[in-house]
Structure 1
Amino acid sequence: MKITPEHNERMAKMTFASVYPHYVTKVEGKGRTKEELHEVITWLTGFDDKKLQELIEEKVTFETFFNRANLNPLANLIKGVICGYRIEEIDNPLTKQVRYLDKLVDELAKGKKMEKILRTS
């Protein structure tokens, strides 16, 4: 699928707080925990539980969320297709970061082992 400038803009303006409950529902519905979800988010962004809660309450956009994040240097090892988009082919850095998060949540929900989700090298 082709990513348009409008798609990138929509991703930037979407709030993390609006998507977070869907992440929780998705992973819990597949037998994983909110704690595991937070572990995945922390690995990617560097945010601890307290900071994550602050960002949710502040209703930050994904643009602000990722601007404040300390992205894991191994995030570029996240590859594959998510929501019809091949992550490696996404040019817009913010859209790519959002898709990194989507992919990690998807892998968690699919039952992948945490060691595989949290890329080590």
Structure 2
Amino acid sequence: MSEQYEVVGPADAVLAVAGEDVILPCSVKPNMSVVDMRVGWSRQDQKDSQIVHLYEDHVDKNTDQSQSYRGRTKLNHQELQRGNVSLKLSSVRVSDEGRYKCFIPSKSWYDDAIVNVKVEGEETIEN
């Protein structure tokens, strides 16, 4: 069986508001369970690509997670059965703005998608 699938992100940038939560959309086509696969999220625009979230062997493995994302990321494990690997990022910071990569490697295949995140900071609003 050939494991060919496509990892799909949003066509447009995701708008987030500082201090709020945001969902970074990403899914697998055709819709298939990725529960048994490795699912990763990383930052693409940093000097060294930072691990934002990693799911492997049915659990979230965030030992190598970038310090700035500790305790702020969540994958919905129920949704993984439907091929939905969207990442919830809580308490958005202005520094979260940038390019994120959602990647799913299997033994014989690899694909990824880029999600652009724009953050509107509350501190930029002046009366």
The reply to whether TM is greater than 0.5 is no
Return the structure number with greater strand share.
2
Return the structure number with greater helix share.
1
TM (norm. structure 1) is: 0.30
Which structure's CA Rg is the greater one?
A: 2
TM (norm. structure 2) is: 0.29
